[in-house]
Chain A
Amino acid sequence: MTQAVAAEMLAVQVRDLTRTFGARKALDKVSFDLPTGSFLSIFGPNGAGKTTLVKVLTTLTPPSDGSAKVCGLDVVEESVDLRERIGLISHNPLLYPDLSAEENLSFFADMYGIDDAANRVRELLVAVELDHRRLDLVRTFSRGMLQRLSIARALLHAPEVLFLDEPYSGLDPHAVEIFDSLIAQIRADHTFVMISHDLAKGLELCTHALILARGKVVLSAPKEEIDEAEFAATYRATVGTGVA
């Protein structure tokens, strides 16, 4: 994707990454680079290996073969250090429903060892406009509010790389608007890797795009090298190949 970029400038570096589940290859020799500060949109049909790729890059699943580095840290050998520098926003809120918004963020602030956690939590609740609901249990929140709180959770420790796993799933238009404005606000300071089924939204946000199918990279390119009509045709043909 960006062979000319020096290794120290790369936020993500993936080489021949393979992940098998039994006899099935969820990822098959996936390779790509992503420069720091970029926004990568990953497209592909269900079962293409997108979520597995993000799970490997976020240290949640070890690779079967090959290597991957995020922020220059190996996802296997340096996983604890790496976890301090990445964040994940998923279609699942990754929040405890029986804790309040403030308790959830305080808990994760403790997990990341954040100094002056109370102040940091309050600042982020204000930033995502949930300060007025800070004492309410998360189980009472709407989908949009959950996603905003999810962003606050992911930003608590000021990660360098943010992984977004279908973050727009289930959001109403107003929630999408709020989510977009939050992403726009932090865009300049972060590298993003987003899984999306929404081609228009994914291409609108990205600086780099990648299509996965059956665990393999079908297309990977910077946005300026992409012909959107051609990309859309490739994507439709890939989705047409069905589940990997």
Chain B
Amino acid sequence: MTVADTPTPPAPARQTGASLSWRQFKAILRKDIVMELRTKEMVTSMGIYALLTMVIYQVALSQAGTAFDPRDIAAGLLWLAFVFTSMLGLNRSLVHEKDQGCLEALLLSPVDRPIIFFAKAAGNVVFLLIVQALTIPVFAFLFLQRADQYGGDLWMIPLALAGGAIGIAGVGTLLATMSVNTKGKDFVLAVLFVPLMYPLLLAAVSATSAAVLGGDGYVQQFWSSMALVAAYDAIMLVAAFALYEFVIGA
């Protein structure tokens, strides 16, 4: 039987409404995760970059002497690594949509643009959390080898990292969409990303610092910092939700 002999099937029944939006969200997220599992582009490049950063920290701090306590700057070092690492990965999340015109095909479908944003941002949160999970043990091994070096509560660290990852993914997905069509997209993303990240970075470093250092009032410092992280995440997600239709159509 040839192609011409094969009848094209009749029109299918279609789903609509909120259940369709949920189905579209899951489909985009699943597609991004399946593609990343196959190519390992984002997690590999981000993971290696983060680990190399840890090694560089170790070399740079090796001459600091015994009086130097790495816990004092541990939170800052970690977030420095995560911010630069995430910039590397976030660009990739949109670049593969541009390949072969896939973004065009996605935009041609009857999907509300904010659904695309939330699905892409959720995927980026997953990838950032994986990189963080790979990096933290290495960081602890290099700089915080003794259990008594943790002054706060260990469970606070993943909470602070997850809160920061949501903010990074939200802002980063929006900015990566804006910069994907520009010539110097890495530069554009960095120039926009770092200033916008500043409030989140301050709060996330403060929360992580409380978790690592402990001390008087560390629980209060942790929760007040986490409240700022949550407020930043909420504001940025709402802003991205409102702007995404314009940004992705530009």
Interface residues of A (CB under 8 A from B): 58-60, 62, 80-81, 83-84, 86-88, 90, 92-99, 103, 107-108, 110-116, 120, 123-124, 126-129, 137, 148, 153, 155-158, 178, 181-182, 184-186
Contact = CB atoms under 8 A, between A and B. Distances in A.
Contacts of A98: 35, 38-39, 96
Interface string B6-49: 11111111111000100110110001001100110000000000
Contact of A83 (B2, B34, B110): B110
Given A60-B104, A88-B104, A95-B105, 19 more contacts: A83-B110, A84-B14, A86-B108, A94-B102, A94-B105, A96-B31, A96-B96, A111-B24, A111-B111, A113-B20, A113-B23, A124-B8, A127-B6, A128-B3, A129-B3, A181-B3, A181-B4, A182-B4, A185-B6
Contact of B4 (A92, A126, A185): A185
A185 B39 CA distance: 37
B44 to A, nearest CB: 14
A107 B100 contact: no
Q: Which of B2, B96, B105 has the most CB of A within 10 A?
A: B105
A141 B27 CA distance: 23
B109 A111 contact: yes
A115 B12 contact: yes
A114 B100 contact: no
Nearest to A124: B9
Given A110-B23, A120-B9, A127-B9, A96 B100 contact: yes
B72 interface: no
B55 to A, nearest CB: 31
Given A98-B38, A114-B14, A127 B7 contact: yes
Contacts of B100: 92-97
B9 to A, nearest CB: 4
7 contacts: A81-B110, A113-B24, A127-B7, A127-B9, A158-B12, A185-B3, A185-B8
B8 A186 contact: yes
Contacts of B7: 127, 185
